[in-house]
Structure 1
Amino acid sequence: MTRNVRIVSPVDGSIVAERPLADDAALDAALAAAREAQRAWRATPIPARAEILTRAVDAMLAMADEIVPELAWQMGRPVRYGMGELRGFEERARHMIAIAEEALAPIRPEAMEGFTRFIARGPLGTVLVIAPWNYPFLTAVNSIVPALMAGNAVVLKHATQTLLVGERFAQAFAKAGLPEGLFANLVLSHTQAARAIGSGLVHQVNFTGSVEGGRAMEAAASGRFIGVGLELGGKDPAYVRADADLEHAIETLVDGAMFNSGQSCCGIERIYVEEAVYDRFVEGAVALTRGYVLDTPLDEATTLGPMVTAAGADFVRGQVAEAVRAGASALIDPAAFPRDAAGSTWMAPQIVVDVDHSMSLMCEESFGPVVGIMKVRGEDEAIRLMNDSDYGLSAAIFTRDLEAAARIGAALETGTVFANRCDYLDPALAWTGVKNTGRGATLSRLGYETLTRPKSFHLRHPG
């Protein structure tokens, strides 16, 4: 019997879409088709690949008027921000297309008389991309476009909550004329995803999701000798020095904590502020947070939509309540946000002070519109606290002294260091993490490394 999966909207609990799970025969057929299509695609010149993928980007952007409200219904992001994700999608895709020829060019060591020597970079075969719901276009494009540009085939398993995003990718590639079989969007169960990984027909897995999900990916790939790229979340910190532009720091960090209802692996979840500016920072952050509009994401005036599930919202409420019981203070009155209700997807934004690292709010990923703020004496204490985490995706430092930012950043256990900004992926830089955030890198020239394999040529000249 075919089992269907449903997208349940966090907006009103309605069914946005319903799709059948692919059966094993469909999965096997897609993997076989990918293998056949990739054999021809790997011989296609990079400029020809770039032409097709550029058309695909254009085709995706042409669907923007449909995609923006579709996203709001699927995962709750306000429509006023919907084009932001598509602009990020375009930036990353076009950058990875533009750098492909140089990034994939042979590496040539110093000349040696009588010999021709170089390292070629060839595609792996088929890349399985398992993408999450929170930034469904951005997280997927990080792997899909460079994988195809590198000469691979791609099979996409998107999160159930954002199944329509996978269909949009398929539509864009079809309109662009991508060879049939080279990209497949499949609705798969966890068991089927594991079956695909262990099939011998997948040569790289790029997964974005939970730590437990990452462990499942590694277990499925055990003994296959294939690459597994993992981005597994974060508990990203910020440090505000006394010399910071305080107004800019407040505006940037509140947005970094609350945007997308806090459902971002690189969102700001804890802030450390030097005592000289602590009171002014907290006062400004509270005032700004009180101005959010928690309402239907289909309204242009809305600045904060629902969380994607009621269970996720209740988890964050539980973290706040636990912290308050332990002596913390929650500074935002949920009653000022009429939509907020226990057991629902609607959660008011929250700022919590008088916190410490004995509280889960400061240690465990919240993934919601809440941030804890701690007072610190200086950078040594800030560095110690910022590193006191099982995660390491990004960290932000707010200061007018960029030399200090670089010095502090060098001491932080994180994949990306920001100064005077946060919650952004620069496609020219590697997106990576340490500790339980995972391993591997996407974007930049380094993003092509895990999507290709090196092949050395050592050619002695005759005579």
Structure 2
Amino acid sequence: MSQTLKCISPIDGSVFAERETLSREDAFAAAERARAAQAAWAARPLQERIDLVMAGVAKVGEMNDEIVPELAHMMGRPVRFGGEFGGFNERASHMAEIAKEALADIEVGEDETFKRYIKRIPQGVVFVVAPWNYPYMTAINTVAPALIAGNTVVLKHATQTLLVGERMAEAFHAAGVPADVFQNVFLDHDTTSELIAAKAFDFVNFTGSVGGGQAMERAAAGTFTGVGTELGGKDPGYVMEDADIDAAVDTLIDGAMFNSGQCCCGIERIYVHESVYDAFLAKALEIVKGYKLGNPMDPETSIGPMANVRFAKEVREQIAEALQMGAVAQIETFAEDDGGAYLTPQILTNVTHDMRVMRDESFGPVVGIMKVSSDEEAIKLMNDSEFGLTASLWTSDVDRAQRIGDQIETGTVFMNRADYLDPGLCWTGCKNTGRGGGLSVIGYHNLTRPKSYHLKKVTG
């Protein structure tokens, strides 16, 4: 029996879109169509697949004037920021550019007796479960390389961004990608688990909560289906005494507050050397006090509502608990804060790791700032987390950043930047952030399997 999925707009709490989930039978039929279409798709020349995927990407770009306000309605990002097409196109383009080399046979050796090599073979049917916070960019991370590598793709998007998968499927189909090669589906949790448990997919890529990732792994248990996950984060920034303070403040505070703090690799805690702490804090407060909280459809709005009232509730609870434990709220409540999805961006000082706001994922516009006296203290605090996605180091000394980076339990080390996904680097995490790797050459390795050839020649 189908269910109705409803996207509740954070702008005013109204139902912005709704769709019926597929029945169990229709869901399995969709997966079977994807499997039936895969061999013919993989048999197409690599350049043809690349061209079709990039044509689909371009079609998404042509929809941008409609997509930007649609995103504002669905998840609250202000229209002034123009959507996600820049990053969407950058990631797909990079994966297209490196595809020939990344998917090339690995030549092991050939002589008059043997020819040996390793091929990269498509996994088959790739299931992509994408999140709402950057719904286009997170989806294309896997959709583009999966299709280019010769897989068929079934995409399930978050209810909060219900229309994104439809947009992508429409664009790719208009560009010539066959309907069964790239499908957007609406599924309930039980049907999703049944499909995975029944080996309907050959690889599952999930971006979302730790609990969601655990559900994916439980569904796949015993099937030997590969599962790649990017889950929670609590990304730290560390500002050293030799840092460019203006640049550090601008980047780290933007990394903490942009998209209302709803970024996978957003900055959630900042450690500042005691010698520059006061200067850093003063500049940070000036920036945040200058934000305009409001309706994301207003071009003057610089910070919109959180995507859902329940997300804002969790952030408010973390802040309230921290204040009860001695933290200091540096930002007075904005007039536009309605106690619901519209939430005052907050900087907390006098925080400790006894507080949830410094341990649990907040995924909202709040950041705690702590004073430290040494690299050793900062490293210990940065590693005091169950998550490990990115860490941002601010210093003029590359060697120092590398030494510190080697000691941080994280997937990516940034120096003098933050909150950016470089498609040339593997996007990966450790600890409860999950396992696997997207983009880069390694992204292609995860979306294919190695197949070895050991060919003995017949000689006279």
Q: TM-score range by the shorter chain?
A: over 0.9
Residue 291 of structure 2 is aligned to residue 295 of structure 1 = no
Report 1:371-390 matches (<5 A). 371-390=367-386
* Separation (CA, whole Å) in 1 of partners of 2:150 and 2:342: 44
In the alignment, structure 1 residue 370 sits paired with structure 2 residue 366: yes
CA distance in 2, matches of 1:229, 1:323: 34
2:284 partner letter:
A
Amino acid at match of 2:35: R
Matches within 5 A, 1:24-423: 24-83=24-83, 85-334=84-333, 337-342=334-339, 344-423=340-419
> Contact conserved, 2:54 with 2:93, CA < 8 A, in 1?
yes
Q: 1:381: Cα distance to partner?
A: 0.4
2:15 aligns with: 15
Whole-angstrom CA distance in 2 between matches of 1:19 and 1:434: 35
Contact kept? 2:3, 2:188, Cα under 8 Å: no
- The answer on whether the counterparts of 1:37 and 1:180 sit within 8 Å (CA) in structure 2 is no
In structure 2, C-alpha distance between the alignment counterparts of 1:127 and 1:245, rounded to whole Å: 44
Distance in 2 separating the partners of 1:185 and 1:158: 8
Shift of 1:361: 0.7
* AA matched with 1:153: T
Task: Determine if contact 2:109/2:115 at 8 Å carries over to the other structure.
Answer: no
**Secondary structure of the corresponding residue to residue 238 of structure 2:** strand
The Cα of 1:201 is off from its aligned counterpart by: 2.1
Rounded to whole Å, the distance in 1 between the matches of 2:82 and 2:22 is: 29
Unpaired runs of at least 5, structure 2:
none
1:446 aligns with 2:437: no
Match of 2:458 in 1: 462
Counterpart code for 1:105: A
Contact 1:233 1:266 in 2 (8 A): no
Report how far residue 110 of structure 1 moved.
Answer: 4.1
Give the CA deviation at 1:454. 0.6
Which string of whole-angstrom CA distances, capped at 9 and with x for unpartnered residues, describes residues 409-431 of structure 1? Answer: 11100000000100000000000
SS at match of 1:166: helix
- The code of the aligned residue for 1:78 comes to P
Deviation at 1:111, TM superposition (A): 4.2
CA distance in 1, matches of 2:65, 2:210: 34
Residue 113 of structure 1, CA deviation: 4.5
Q: Deviations over 1:246-284 (max 9, x none)?
A: 000001011000001001121000000000000110111
Deviation at 1:26, TM superposition (A): 1.5
CA deviation profile, 1:86-138 (whole Å, cap 9, x unmatched): 10000001111111111000001244452110000111110110011011001
TM-score (norm 1): 0.98
Aligned structure 1 segments of 4 or more residues deviating by more than 2 angstroms? 110-113
Contact 2:126–2:153 (Cα < 8 Å) also in 1? yes
Measure how far apart 1:82 and its partner are. Answer: 3.0
